Amino acid sequence: MKRTLIVANWKMHLNTSQASLLLHRLHERIKIHRDIEIVLSPSMLVLQPLSLQIDRRKFRLAAQNAFHKDEGAYTGEVSFTMLQDLVHYVIVGHSDRRYKFGEGLDTVRDKVAAAVRNGIVPILCVGETKNERLQGETMQVLHDQVVSAVSNLTSREIHDIVIAYEPVWALSSGTDYLHHEIPKPGDIAKAVVAIRNDISELYGKKASESVRVLYGGSSSASTARGLMEVEGIDGLLVGGASLNYHEFSGIVDGAYRMRRAEEG
């Protein structure tokens, strides 16, 4: 059975001491579970100090972004090569990057390939905007984003990647996650089927089953378990609620309870 993956995307929040404090509190609350993987994604600046403090049996680290060239004259950028020993995962194609920083399909594809080339697991975010949803374009958008992003991967490399379905319209501003509209379970399930079908057509059924698919968008302690129980969902990518340790540890508790219920 696949491990449940819960990723805390702290975005551009928390300086080093704030992040250390949150880590400390999470460490006290969160127990080790062999079927649950907890990943923290702080800002680039905080990765190094946090890597010295984390209990690796409990937490892994993810970068929120990196540049697809391994080295060179790229002022201001950090490469996947530089992150190799520091992180296990990297978030790629987040809608913040696509829509606020103009990253197109080709850039996302190059970043996915660079992550894999450097032994880092990409967490590829895909999802439709509100307008695309209203126009009935959701499936086409997911298809284009998934197919283009994985197009440089071999059939061996595809098994390791993680895909996060994050409808852009469902993402919180960071604080309003408790009151934000989120998709119906049936709509999430449909999106997951579409994502796995794309992988299946390109790489076969086995690959499509082994890829972990997460949901992201205004998840919280009260909605987490229901979201994780959606058919085909293997975990959550959490933004706003991951900055609050009650909320985030509540989300992790939801995963424990779910796995325990499955074990019977």
Nearer to ligand PGA, 47 or 168 (CB): 168
In the bound complex, what is the minimum distance in angstroms from residue 122's beta carbon to ligand PGA? 14
Q: How far is the CB of 165 from ligand PGA (least distance, A)?
A: 11
Task: Reply yes or no on whether 166 is catalytic.
Answer: yes
103, 128, 166, 247: which is the annotated catalytic residue?
166
- As measured in angstroms, the least distance from the Cβ of 155 to ligand PGA is 28
Closer CB to ligand PGA, 116 or 171, in the complex: 171
Nearer to ligand PGA, 107 or 218 (CB): 218
- DSSP readout, the chain? -PPEEEEEE-TT---HHHHHHHHHHHHHHPPP-TTEEEEEE--HHHHHHHHHH--TTTEEEEES--BSSSSSS-TT--BHHHHTTT-SEEEES-HIIIIIS---HHHHHHHHHHHHHTT-EEEEEE---HHHHHTT-HHHHHHHHHHHHTTT--TTGGGG-EEEE--GGG---SS-TTTS----HHHHHHHHHHHHHHHHHHH-HHHHHHSEEEEESS--TTTHHHHHTSTT--EEEESGGGGSHHHHHHHHHHHHHHHHHHH-
CB of 188 to ligand PGA, least distance (A): 14
Catalytic residue among 37, 68, 94, 128: 94
- Is 143 assigned a catalytic role? no
Report residue 107 as tokens: 């850039």
Q: Give whichever of 152 and 245 is closer to ligand PGA, judged by the CB atom.
A: 245
In the complex, the smallest distance separating the C-beta of residue 150 from ligand PGA, rounded to whole angstroms, is 20
For ligand PGA, the closer of residues 67 and 177 by Cβ is 177
Residue with CB nearest ligand PGA? 239
- Interface residue list for ligand PGA (CB under 6 A): 9, 166, 171-172, 174, 177, 216-219, 237-241
What residues are annotated to the active site? Answer: 94, 166
